[in-house]
Amino acid sequence: MCGIIGIVSREEDVVPRVVDGLKRLEYRGYDSVGVAVVSAGSLVVRKSAGKLADVVRKAGISRLSGGICIGHTRWATHGPPIDVNAHPHVDCSGSIAVVHNGVIRNFSSLREQLESRGHTIRSDTDTELIAHLLEEGLREGLSPLGSMARALSMVTGSYAIAVLFSSDPGRIYFARMHSPLILGLGEGSNAVASDVTALLDVARRVVPLNDGELGWISATEVALYRLGGNGELVPISPAELASRIKVIEWTPESASKAGYPHFMIKEIYEQPQALLETYNGSVEDPSLARSARLLVDARRVYVVGAGTSYHAGLVFSYMAATLARVPVYPVIASEHPYMGNAIGEGDVVIAVSQSGETYDTLEAVRDYKKRGARVIGVINVVYSALDRESDISLYTRAGPEIGVAATKTFLSQVMLLELLATFMAEHSGALTGSEALEYRRKLGKAPRITQDSIAASDPVARFLGERGSYKSVYVLGRGLGSSIAKEASLKLKEIAYMHAEAYPAGESKHGPIALVEKGFPVFMVATSDSPHISGNAMEMSARGAEVVVTKPADLSLEIPRGIKVIDLPPSQGFLPYEPFILTPFYQLLSYYSAVAKGYDPDKPRNLAKTVTVE
Ligand code: M6R
Domain of residue 594, CATH code: 3.40.50.10490
Q: Are residues 419 and 508 in the same domain?
A: no
Q: Is 535 helix (H, G, I), strand (E, B) or coil?
A: helix
Query: Number of structural domains, the chain?
Result: 3
CA angle 141, 130, 609 (to 5 degrees): 145
Atom of ligand 1 minimally distant from the CA of 604: 14
Atom of ligand 1 minimally distant from the CA of 381: 1
Pairing of strands 96-101, 89-90: antiparallel
Q: Are residues 12 and 81 in the same domain?
A: yes
Q: Which residues are catalytic?
A: 2, 609
Mutate to test the pocket of ligand 1, among 314, 354, 361 (most ligand atoms within 8 A of CB): 354
Q: Is 163 helix (H, G, I), strand (E, B) or coil?
A: strand
Buried-state track 165-193, b at ≥16 Cβ within 10 A, e below 16: bbebbebbbbbbbbbbbbbbbbeebbbbb
Please list, in sequence order, all residues whose beta carbon lies within 8 angstroms of the beta carbon of residue 79, skipping any fewer than 6 positions away.
85, 123, 124, 125
Q: Are residues 55 and 24 in the same domain?
A: yes
Question: How many whole angstroms separate alpha carbon 111 and alpha carbon 167?
Answer: 25
Average pLDDT, the chain: 93
Ligand 1 mean position, distance from CA 271 (Å): 17
Q: Are residues 230 and 281 in the same domain?
A: no
Boundary (domain end) residue, out of 444, 478, 493 = 444
Predicted local distance difference test score (pLDDT) of residue 27: 74
Ligand 1 mean position, distance from CA 584 (Å): 17
Position 104, amino acid: I
Boundary (domain end) residue, out of 444, 476, 500 = 444
Boundary (domain end) residue, out of 422, 444, 466 = 444
Predicted local distance difference test score (pLDDT) of residue 343: 94
Atom of ligand 1 minimally distant from the CA of 407: 16
Q: Are residues 319 and 408 in the same domain?
A: yes
CATH assignment at residue 170: 3.60.20.10
**How many Å is the Cα radius of gyration of the chain?**
25
Ligand 1 mean position, distance from CA 491 (Å): 11
Residue 351 belongs to domain spanning = 260-444
Q: Whose CA is nearest to atom 14 of ligand 1?
A: 405
Atom of ligand 1 minimally distant from the CA of 409: 3
Q: Are residues 274 and 219 in the same domain?
A: no
Ligand 1 mean position, distance from CA 610 (Å): 7
Q: Whose CA is nearest to atom 16 of ligand 1?
A: 405
Mutate to test the pocket of ligand 1, among 196, 271, 309 (most ligand atoms within 8 A of CB): 309
Mutate to test the pocket of ligand 1, among 335, 494, 611 (most ligand atoms within 8 A of CB): 611
Q: Are residues 326 and 191 in the same domain?
A: no
Q: Are residues 438 and 459 in the same domain?
A: no
Predicted local distance difference test score (pLDDT) of residue 561: 84
Q: Are residues 163 and 282 in the same domain?
A: no
Q: What are the 10-residue block averages of pLDDT along the chain, 614 residues in total?
A: 92 93 84 92 93 93 93 85 94 96 89 96 95 97 97 93 96 93 95 91 91 96 94 94 89 75 94 92 93 98 98 98 98 92 95 95 97 97 89 92 94 98 98 97 96 96 88 95 98 96 91 87 96 91 94 93 94 97 98 95 86 78
Atom of ligand 1 minimally distant from the CA of 386: 4
Q: Are residues 242 and 305 in the same domain?
A: no
H-helix or E-strand spanning residue 489: helix 480-496
* Residues at CB less than 6 angstroms from ligand 1: 306-309, 353-355, 358, 361, 404-406, 490, 494, 607, 610-611
Ligand 1 mean position, distance from CA 609 (Å): 7
Ligand 1 mean position, distance from CA 612 (Å): 11
Question: How many whole angstroms separate alpha carbon 494 and alpha carbon 602?
Answer: 10
Q: Are residues 296 and 172 in the same domain?
A: no
